[in-house]
């Protein structure tokens, strides 16, 4: 892909942080830049009791959404909007999105000719909305497949004829497809090739109302697979605070909701754990400004208009706070923890969480490498998350030592460094070579070879002393898969008082297994082939190089010098003839190359997955140590993950820098804004 991407106002979305499919982004509009993910309160142009300016100033929302169909149908709204613009109509100078009336047509069962798809797009453009929306065809959850197929084709045809009408307005192309993931994928694929700026996922509101969260998750994930990463995704009608964390984990950037007002009309209060009716409460379980200033009894005694307004404000405070909490969770790499906590509010939500985790391969492609400082066990879903899934997958694919005379397995809860709990066995293993003895730890998330004990997330995780059976079943399957990948005639099992000791019975039928009750008994059975002093450090380095970059470790010079931390046992530096090649990144346990290290990686046959090529216009900037901007990336592998250590080349393939990828390879080739690679070392530094 050899091109220099155009700059401009359109497609002005930039990623600043990521956690799985979720991302913190900056989205520029003519009326200001907003931080995503964000929620837009729905504002009625004529009867909103809380005006848009208050929503921003008092409740800290950034953007609002209103309905262009309602505006177009009422003379008093239409005349102001057409003459002065929608911003004047709402008395708001911030970003505004407008809906087209699709949901109103569905909800009120209006005839197909009620709204003209081209006229409504032109109307939104002419009244100066920041983001307009096409008129798509809404599919009810209980609609049969044949009807949904027709709705999708109608929506796509309208999308195609609407794009030329957008002018300078951002235009949102809605993904439809009902509860059929393949139709969602088809819709998303077609829309991805059209000049849209935002992609709502429609048809979600009825699913939410029926607690069909699992169907909503399937619909969103199916669409997300094929939507361009540089276009924000809008989960239409989703705004309940208990679903926001999980919805963001699906990769949604925009949300909207009128629930704050609709629920207040019926004295219903939104909470992060669900919805409660005021008459059910004796206490107000909230610390928002409204609830902190009154009591449940006082609220009940208010006149209807005053009570409705108070509950409306409460609903806004709770929703806004949860949206901020979600953004912080992304920055902390803890969004799934928050989603798991919220999912326990309702069985249907917990089911939806597991549907999300069943699609971990899709999430893994977007999730940065090594960004989570610690992982706390929250339940059986924990070991299904990306860090553990990724570690196991790479281990199975890239562990270099496949054949040995014996395998020592040590059950462990992964609560402390392995060297603290089994120091004598590790010391003995250092005197052997991988072709005689392998050592691995059996943890709640699977197998950890001794050479990879410091790789994230091995010792960044915290598990309880009592492990549930679902977690142990997952660990068992991973242990079996590892054993099937190595060629060893016998296993030495060190029996210990830890939950994972129970996994021994699962492998005894696979390979001859011998149990030992003490470390000294295990050591006596080691098939030692003594090697030169400190050669164990070379085995560790080879394992990390293979795990991290998939390299042929036989090409590593045997005379490299490896400095090990005496306190932790981690690799600190790798040198060759006093030339520094690599340093170890403490949090990830992975290697960061210097320029010399980058040159060595190229000699060792570094896969193209880890090579970024820059446009000639950016080469000199990168040589000087400037960040490699996405706009100037001309070649990157779609398998590259954000957070990986990469080498940067000029168009001819010459090494100019090394650094850490900020975006995935696909994102680098798509985004026009933002940093693609943070440069660590460059030619002219």
Q: CB pairs under 8 A, 24+ apart, for 344-349?
A: 345/242, 345/272, 345/273, 345/274, 346/211, 346/213, 346/242, 346/274, 348/211, 348/212, 348/213, 348/214, 349/213, 349/242, 349/243, 349/246
Contact in structure between 316 and 41 (CB atoms under 8 Å): yes
Contact in structure between 476 and 444 (CB atoms under 8 Å): no
Angle, helix 213-224 to helix 241-249, in steps of 10 degrees: 30
Tokens of 244: 């926001």
Tell which residue, 213, 291, 288, has the closest CA to residue 246.
213
Contact in structure between 573 and 563 (CB atoms under 8 Å): yes
How many angstroms separate the CA atoms of 589 and 598, rounded?
Answer: 18
111 burial (CB, 10 Å; 0-12 / 13-18 / 19+) is exposed
Tell which residue, 541, 471, 529, has the closest CA to residue 503.
471
How many angstroms separate the CA atoms of 66 and 470, rounded?
Answer: 46
Tell which residue, 316, 252, 248, 246, has the closest CA to residue 286.
316
How many angstroms separate the CA atoms of 395 and 392, rounded?
Answer: 5
Annotated active-site residue 332? The verdict is: no
Which residue in 99, 130, 256, 635 is the catalytic one?
A: 99
Tokens of 538: 């070379």
How many angstroms separate the CA atoms of 195 and 163, rounded?
Answer: 6
Strands (E) located in 382-523: 406-411, 437-443, 446-449, 461-462, 490-494, 512-516
Contact in structure between 548 and 562 (CB atoms under 8 Å): no
How many angstroms separate the CA atoms of 400 and 381, rounded?
Answer: 29
How many angstroms separate the CA atoms of 181 and 440, rounded?
Answer: 41
How many angstroms separate the CA atoms of 638 and 168, rounded?
Answer: 31
Q: In what order do the strands lie in the sheet with 579-585?
A: 561-564, 571-576, 579-585, 590-593
Tokens of 496: 């210990």
Tell which residue, 170, 167, 165, 226, has the closest CA to residue 201.
226
How many angstroms separate the CA atoms of 353 and 268, rounded?
Answer: 25
How many angstroms separate the CA atoms of 637 and 610, rounded?
Answer: 7
End-to-end CA distance of the chain: 29
How many angstroms separate the CA atoms of 445 and 463, rounded?
Answer: 10
User: Does an H or E element contain 73, and which?
Assistant: helix 68-73
Backbone angles phi, psi at 235, to 5 degrees: -85, 100
- Whole-number Cα distances in Å, 338 to 251, 332, 364, 378, 409: 15, 11, 18, 10, 34
How many angstroms separate the CA atoms of 297 and 305, rounded?
Answer: 16
CB atoms within 10 A of CB 259: 22
Cα 363 to its chain centre, rounded Å, is 6
Contact in structure between 316 and 239 (CB atoms under 8 Å): no
Instruction: Report, as residue numbers or ranges, the catalytic residues.
Output: 99
């Amino acid at each position: 892909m050899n091109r220099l991407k155009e700059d401009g106002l359109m497609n002005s979305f930039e990623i600043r942080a990521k956690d799985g499919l979720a991302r913190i982004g900056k989205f520029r509009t003519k009326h200001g830049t907003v931080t995503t993910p964000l929620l837009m309160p729905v504002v009625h142009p004529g009867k909103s009791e809380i005006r848009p300016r208050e929503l921003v100033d008092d409740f800290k929302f950034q953007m609002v959404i209103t309905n262009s169909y309602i505006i177009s149908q009422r003379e008093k709204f239409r005349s102001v909007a057409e003459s002065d613009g929608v911003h004047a109509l709402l008395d708001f100078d911030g970003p505004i999105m407008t809906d087209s009336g699709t949901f109103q047509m569905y909800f009120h069962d209006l005839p197909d000719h009620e709204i003209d798809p081209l006229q409504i797009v032109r109307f939104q453009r002419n009244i100066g909305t920041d983001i307009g929306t096409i008129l798509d065809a809404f599919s009810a959850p209980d609609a049969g497949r044949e009807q949904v197929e027709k709705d999708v084709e109608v929506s796509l045809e309208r999308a195609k004829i609407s794009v030329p009408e957008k002018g300078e307005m951002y235009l949102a192309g809605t993904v439809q497809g009902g509860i059929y993931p393949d139709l969602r994928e088809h819709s998303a694929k077609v829309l991805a090739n059209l000049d849209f700026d935002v992609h709502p996922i429609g048809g979600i509101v009825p699913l939410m109302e029926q607690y069909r969260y699992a169907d909503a998750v399937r619909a969103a994930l199916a669409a997300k697979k094929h939507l361009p990463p540089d276009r924000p995704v809008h989960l239409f009608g989703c705004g309940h605070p208990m679903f926001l964390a999980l919805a963001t984990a699906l990769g949604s950037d925009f949300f909207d909701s009128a629930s704050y007002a609709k629920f207040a009309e019926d004295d219903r209060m939104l909470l992060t754990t669900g919805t409660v009716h005021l008459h059910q409460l004796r206490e107000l379980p909230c610390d928002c400004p409204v609830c902190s200033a009154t009591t449940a009894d006082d609220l009940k005694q208010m006149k209807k208009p005053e009570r409705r307004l108070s509950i409306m404000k409460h609903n806004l405070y709770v929703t806004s706070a949860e949206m901020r909490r979600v953004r912080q969770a992304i920055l902390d790499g803890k969004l799934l923890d928050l989603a798991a906590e919220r999912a326990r509010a309702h069985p249907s939500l917990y089911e939806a969480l597991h549907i999300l985790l069943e699609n971990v391969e899709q999430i893994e492609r977007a999730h940065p490498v090594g960004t989570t400082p610690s992982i706390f066990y929250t339940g059986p879903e924990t070991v299904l998350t990306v860090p553990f899934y990724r570690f196991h997958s790479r281990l199975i694919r890239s562990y270099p030592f496949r054949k040995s005379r014996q395998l020592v397995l040590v059950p462990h809860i992964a609560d402390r460094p392995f060297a603290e709990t089994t120091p004598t066995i590790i010391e003995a293993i250092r005197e052997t070579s991988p072709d005689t003895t392998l050592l691995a730890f059996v943890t709640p998330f699977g197998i950890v070879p001794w050479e990879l004990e410091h790789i994230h997330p091995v010792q960044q995780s915290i598990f309880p002393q009592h492990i549930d059976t679902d977690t142990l079943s997952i660990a068992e399957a991973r242990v079996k898969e590892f054993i099937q990948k190595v060629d060893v005639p016998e296993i030495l099992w060190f029996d210990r008082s830890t939950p994972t000791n129970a996994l021994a019975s699962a492998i005894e039928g696979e390979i001859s297994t011998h149990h030992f009750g003490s470390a000294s008994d295990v050591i006596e059975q080691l098939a030692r082939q003594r090697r030169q002093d400190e050669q164990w450090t070379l085995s560790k380095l080879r394992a990390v190089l293979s795990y991290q970059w998939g390299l042929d470790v036989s090409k590593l010079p045997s005379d490299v010098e490896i400095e090990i931390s005496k306190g932790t046992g981690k690799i600190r530096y790798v040198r060759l003839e006093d030339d520094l090649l690599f340093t170890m990144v403490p949090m990830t346990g992975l290697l960061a190359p210097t320029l010399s290290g980058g040159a060595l990686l190229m000699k060792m046959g570094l896969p193209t997955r880890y090579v970024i090529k820059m446009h000639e216009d950016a080469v000199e900037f990168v040589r000087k140590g400037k960040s490699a901007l996405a706009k100037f990336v001309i070649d990157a592998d779609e398998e590259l993950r954000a957070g990986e250590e990469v080498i940067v080349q000029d168009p001819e393939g010459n090494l100019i820098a090394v650094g850490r990828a900020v975006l995935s390879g696909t994102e680098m080739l798509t985004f026009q804004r933002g940093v693609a690679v943070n440069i660590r070392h460059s030619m002219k530094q």
